Amino acid sequence: MKTLTITRPDDWHTHVRNGAVLKTVLPHTARQFARAIIMPNLKPPVTTVAQALAYREEILQAIPAGGDFTPLMTLYLTGSTTATEIKKAAESEHVHAFKLYPAGATTHSDSGVADIKAVYPLLAAMEKQDIPLLIHGEVTDQNCDIFDRERVFIETHLSGIVENFPNLRIVVEHVTTTEAVQFVQAGGNNIAATITPQHLLFNRNAILAGGIRPHYYCLPIIKREQHRLALVAAATSGNPKFFLGTDSAPHITPLKETACGCAGCYSAHAALELYAEVFDRADSLDKLEGFASFYGADFYRLPRNSGTVTLEKTPWTVPAAYGVNELTITPLQANEELNWKMQ
């Protein structure tokens, strides 16, 4: 049997929610990854260090007995964030970044930033404190075609941010387009990107062709095949600017399978297996370890993990759902066969 052993990986972008959903999903992330960057878009959002520390405690409680997992907390940037809070965050050993959601761009983003130029003084404070800014890069203009929103964000906002704050460490989260890949490649070493499994594995036909499949609907929306190919090339290139971030985003099944469903693919149940499939198909399994286990840690200036995980090439079928009763979460590739399995 074919196996692949790599240094323990980290997930540099995930949503684990809170309450009952947290208890259902956290064991998946904690089994696969040593650490994960935890998104702050709870309701209400995590905007202060004190809130992040309380949320961190809740996450620690959800780790299964004997588990070894470290949540890396982030704060939600709003128009009301203060320079004092940025300094506090930079000094906290548990808070690792701020997340910028353009207001209205995605799930629980209504407290996000409505006027990006208005938060420039805060970006200056982050640059000074040397704390990374994680960006959901999509414009929210309702007249902008949903498939163009990332490209237009880069032209309208991201270029300006990078020009004005040349030393700000930025992660362009969940890149989905050729334009985003090129932007990150052309930038300095302070500009990096995460890539999700769904954007590497699927193009927009997965959502729309032959019937509408809500479990492939996430934001930024999955694009055309030409963009997927650019993402696979970036992820498997060995360029340390591109690293693993699942954007695993659980929503209970009835909120996905409805007339106006929520955005988000749940992938924490098989994250590494999904990425292994991508790298295997691209004949680049030797590049998976850098992408999954080294480059993110280096960018965040955290030590690389010790220990290893092993994947086997052995088919298995993803369950139809995780959780029980009103709490079921339908995973990405539910009922489908995957070729790789983590031991």
**Residues engaged in binding Zn ion (CB under 5 A):** 247
Q: Which is nearer to ligand DOR, 136 or 223 (CB)?
A: 136
Q: Which of 24, 29, 107, 178 binds ligand DOR (CB under 6 A)?
A: 107
What is the token pair recorded at 182? 């090129």
Q: Cβ 61 to ligand DOR, closest distance in Å?
A: 21
Q: How many Cβ atoms are within 10 Å of 14's Cβ, its own excluded?
A: 27
Q: Residue 186 has which token pair? A: 């052309």
Nearer to ligand DOR, 172 or 249 (CB): 249
Q: Is 149 in the site for ligand DOR (CB under 6 A)?
A: no
Q: Which does 290 bind (CB under 5 to 8 A by kind): Zn ion, ligand DOR, none?
A: none
Q: Which does 227 bind (CB under 5 to 8 A by kind): ligand DOR, Zn ion, none?
A: none
In the shown chain, the binding pattern of residues 29 to 48 toward ligand DOR, with x for contact by CB under 6 A and - for none, equals ------------x-------
Shortest CA distance to 126 belongs to which of 76, 172, 167?
167
Q: Who contacts 111 (Cβ-Cβ below 8 Å, separation ≥6)?
A: 44, 45, 47, 76, 78, 101, 103
Residue 192: phi and psi, rounded to 5, are -135, 180
Q: Which of 21, 34, 125, 249 binds ligand DOR (CB under 6 A)?
A: 249
Side chain identity at 132, as an amino acid letter?
P
The four Cα atoms 91, 94, 96, 98 give a dihedral, to 10 degrees, of -90
Does the annotation mark 141 as catalytic? Answer: no
- Residue 177 is classified by DSSP as S
- Label the pairing between strands 70-76 and 308-317: unpaired
Tell me which residues in 184-243 interact with ligand DOR (CB under 6 A). Answer: 218-219
Binding site for ligand DOR (CB under 6 A): 15, 41, 106-108, 136, 218-219, 249, 263-264
